[in-house]
Structure 1
Amino acid sequence: MKVLQVISGMSLKSGGPTTCTYNLLKGLQDTSMAVDLLTFDAVENDKIISREDFMKILPPPKKPRFSYSKALKLWLEEHNDYDLYHTNALWQYPAHAAAVFAQKHNKPYIISPHGMLYPEGLNTSKWFKKVALLLFQKKDLKKATAFHATSHREMKYLRAFGLQQPIAVIPNAIDVNTIQTASIHKKSDPIKIGFLGRLAPIKNLEVLFEAWHASEALTKQAELVVIGDGEEHYMEHLRTVITKKNIENITFTGFLSGEAQEEVMQQLSYLILPSKSENFGMVVPEALARQIPVIASKGTPWEELKTHSCGWWIDNDLETLSTTINEALRLDETQRLEMGKNGRALVEEKYSVDAVSTMMYEFYQWLLSNTETQPSFVDIKS
């Protein structure tokens, strides 16, 4: 049994799908199934996550907006012995080319939209996506054999879009064994709350900054550490918000990766993700694996922060954010460490590479065996 996953990019700056896709593929390498990944190389000033044998890497496309590549089409035609195709993300040529190839050769294919059918996602670059839907994307979706959603919330959006095929709800994978737990903080250490991710309007950073200003952060000698970058015009807007409102104790690190990012993460007492909408939020389990409690908005699918006592799952308005920041600042270090241990236990149980790759392997096996009894995590439209 051979499976080919396809994704446009696997560079360090590509965001969440890069890490979770790589972790899944690494886990699947330990099964009896042969799984490869077809992708493009990183562009200048970026770096691809890996060059292992299962990574089939092509030169980057000249026009990244749609990522058209004749080389990718030829590669699919020359390597046509896969039993199942699994595409990641929407709107770009690699996933479309793999879907067309699978349709042409009567091969099953799965689509992982990675949150791209959320209403907020559809409203970004709206006209481009309307045209893409008319030209190819809607057909690719309707003819897919099955879908992979990372949360029940995403599954609901797929159903709302009118998709009737089986949907497997399988979370993103975290390589827990490679993540070092954060250091125990001394009473004299400043309390650092970190945001990690792409700086964009959907992340609700303006409200976070105002909530920070309204909290007791200054009297507690706390620091808000913003890790990431964004479009220059938006970065300038954030700097203007901070200057006009005289907001203090906010540090911007810019984009960090590898050891530089890890060094900053090890200093955090909490991670905060106040997004208006988030499909999965890889930064959440990555923080929990480090035993860092998390404050996440209800725009994210992280109710488990509340049910597993490893953080806060809250509304993302100014008052609620400010109140929750104050609660975190007042928390006794013993309680914070206990929340951290709860978070690590949750990730090990549900989000580890072994747990997630086992689910995906079972999903692949079920699709290819045509048995009637589906896995418990697969939803079939009645």
Structure 2
Amino acid sequence: MRLSKAQCATSGDIVSVVGLNHPDWPKEASKWVGGTPYLFDVIGPRSLGYAPNMLSGIEALNPDIVHLHGLWMHSGRSVLQWAKKTRKPYVVSVHGMLSDVALSYGRQKKRFVLQWFQKEVLERAAAIHVTSSAEADEVFKFGLNNPLIQIPNGVEQLYLSVNQTSTKDKVVLSLGRFHKKKGLSLLLKAWQPLEKEFPDWSLLLVGPDQDGEVNRLKGLSSELGLSKVRFHGQVWDKQKIDIMASASIFALPSLSENFAITVAESLMLGVPVVCSKGAPWQGLDEHKCGKWVDIGPEPMEHGLRELMCLSPEKLQDMGQRGREWMIQDYSWDSIALAMRSEYQSVLEKSVS
């Protein structure tokens, strides 16, 4: 949504967003601020996303180029069929879905979809969009040699109230869905010695549950004897921003992430970050706004300890450096302009 909004604002191009209809859309439609949406009904399991009218819908829009987001859904086949009919190009954003961790889930479905259409969708793409060099390596490892477009995701420029900039709780926050690949069990193990060393600090885990992961983590927390760990369900909009802005440190212990938007959002809110090398945020060290650590409990423990030992003033300085970095390199307008330039290059090559 944010990308299409910025594309409309910066280019003057007509941007249409094609997607799958959902029962919640009528109550969410008023929040949509991107390009004009066109939704198509799904037949069968939503996990496949078979929308038989999508192909004719794309044809009716008659786009010059299509940007396909994500893999393993029937929408990819619709785009492939459109491209074959029209001989027009499309770009694919893989969104971390070719990492070893991502490929390890739903293997049966992915083997079926790969042979049915996904392999051809990827191989015929005029270019593949990645957000980092790590994601580019995943594309090559998968056996693809398409031209690559490397542009990071953008982050909305969030504005802080006076209260948000002056009031910080001694809280380490991790926010995102509760899933095994998020590495939250590693974070709990890292927290065990820190909880004893820093009794005035607490750890807050926020997000929607998936496959009973919350109960598993609560059980682990009890086994480790932790008393300063809180769990909170999914949050949205202002509540999400308030929770993120009030934390002193953001922690991301993930095993695999193609980008991790919560890191960018935390930095935009002036919160320093300790992030595992499962996500491509080596710039945390370069910009002196956090720590980029190896995956595992001990590296996460050391990274958190280093920040937790700092004064509130020094943590605020780190957060401010992170915010300045985000505004400079990750604004949606700059991302949209960079993407448009790549679209133009793809279009020029397609007619040469």
TM-score bin, normalised by smaller chain: over 0.9
- 2:140 matched residue in structure 1: 159
Distance 1:185 1:136, change over 3 A: same
Could you give the per-residue CA deviations for residues 180-238 of structure 1, whole angstroms, max 9, x where no partner exists? 3782456xx64011101111111111111111111146644111111102224222211
For 1:77, what is the secondary structure of its paired residue?
helix
Residue equivalent to 1:74: 56
Cα 1:340–1:234 shift into 2, 3 Å:
same
Corresponding position: 1:63 with 2:42: no
Q: Taking every aligned residue pair, what percent have the same amino acid on both sides?
A: 27
Partner of 1:3: none
Using structure 1 for the length normalisation, give the TM-score.
0.85
Contact 1:40 1:61 (C-alpha < 8 Å) held by counterparts: no
Alignment gaps of 5+ in structure 1: 1-21, 373-382
**Deviation readout 1:25-75 (Å, 9 max, x if unpaired):** 111102132221111234349845516562223345552010111232331
Supply the distance in 1 between the matched residues of 2:297 and 2:306 (Cα, whole angstroms). Answer: 14
Please state how far the C-alpha of 1:332 moved relative to its aligned partner.
Answer: 1.3
Gaps of 5+ in 2: none
Which aligned runs of 4 or more in structure 1 are off by greater than 6 angstroms?
none
Task: Describe the SS at the equivalent of 1:360.
Answer: helix
CA offset digits 1:114-161 (Å, max 9, x no partner): 011111111111121111111111011111111110111111111222
User: Where do residues 339-358 of structure 1 align in structure 2 (5 Å cutoff)?
Assistant: 339-358=318-337
How many residue pairs were aligned?
A: 347
More helix by share: 2
* Residue in 2 that maps onto 1:148: 129
Aligned-partner Cα distance in 1 for 2:34–2:324: 30
Change (3 A) 1:217 1:286: farther
AA of the residue aligned to 1:72 = M
CA deviation profile, 1:278-330 (whole Å, cap 9, x unmatched): 11000011110001000000111000000010100001222222222222211
Contact kept, 8 Å, 2:20 with 2:39, in 1: the verdict is: yes
Measured in 1, the distance between the counterparts of 2:34 and 2:136 equals 32
Structure 1's 297 and 53: CA in aligned 2 closer, same or farther, altered over 3 A? closer
Corresponding residue number in structure 2 for 1:5: none
RMSD, aligned α-carbons = 2.1
1:326 equivalenced with 2:308 (yes/no): no
Q: Call closer, same or farther: CA 1:143–1:104 in 2, change over 3 Å.
A: same
1:243 is matched with 222
Structure-2 change in CA distance of 1:54 and 1:245 (3 Å): same
2:109 is matched with 128
The partner residue of 1:111 within 81, 92, 102 is: 92
Q: Give the aligned partner of residue 151 of structure 2.
A: 170
CA contact under 8 A between 2:89 and 2:350: conserved in structure 1? no
Say whether the 8 Å CA contact 2:8–2:35 is kept in structure 1: no
The aligned runs of 1:14-93 (5 Å cut-off) are: 22-30=1-9, 31-44=11-24, 47=28, 49-50=31-32, 54-59=36-41, 61=43, 63-79=45-61, 81-93=62-74
Instruction: Map Cα deviations across residues 322-357 of structure 1 (whole Å, 9 max, x no partner).
Output: 222222211112211111111011111111012111
SS of residue in 2 equivalent to 1:292: coil
SS class of match (1:271): strand
Equivalent position of 1:231 in the other structure: 210
- 3-state DSSP class of the match of 1:266? helix
**Whole-angstrom distance in 1 between the partners of 2:35 and 2:187:** 43
Return the letter of the residue paired with 2:48: F
- d(CA) in 2 for partners of 1:69, 1:133: 18
TM-score by length of 2: 0.92
**Deviation per CA, 1:61-120, whole angstroms, max 9, x where unpaired?**
5520101112323312333x2110110000001122112211221110110010111111
Q: Does 2:270 correspond to 1:288?
A: no
- 2: CA distance between counterparts of 1:104 and 1:175? 37
Q: For 2:269 and 2:173, locate their aligned partners in 1 and report how far apart those are by CA, in whole Å.
A: 13
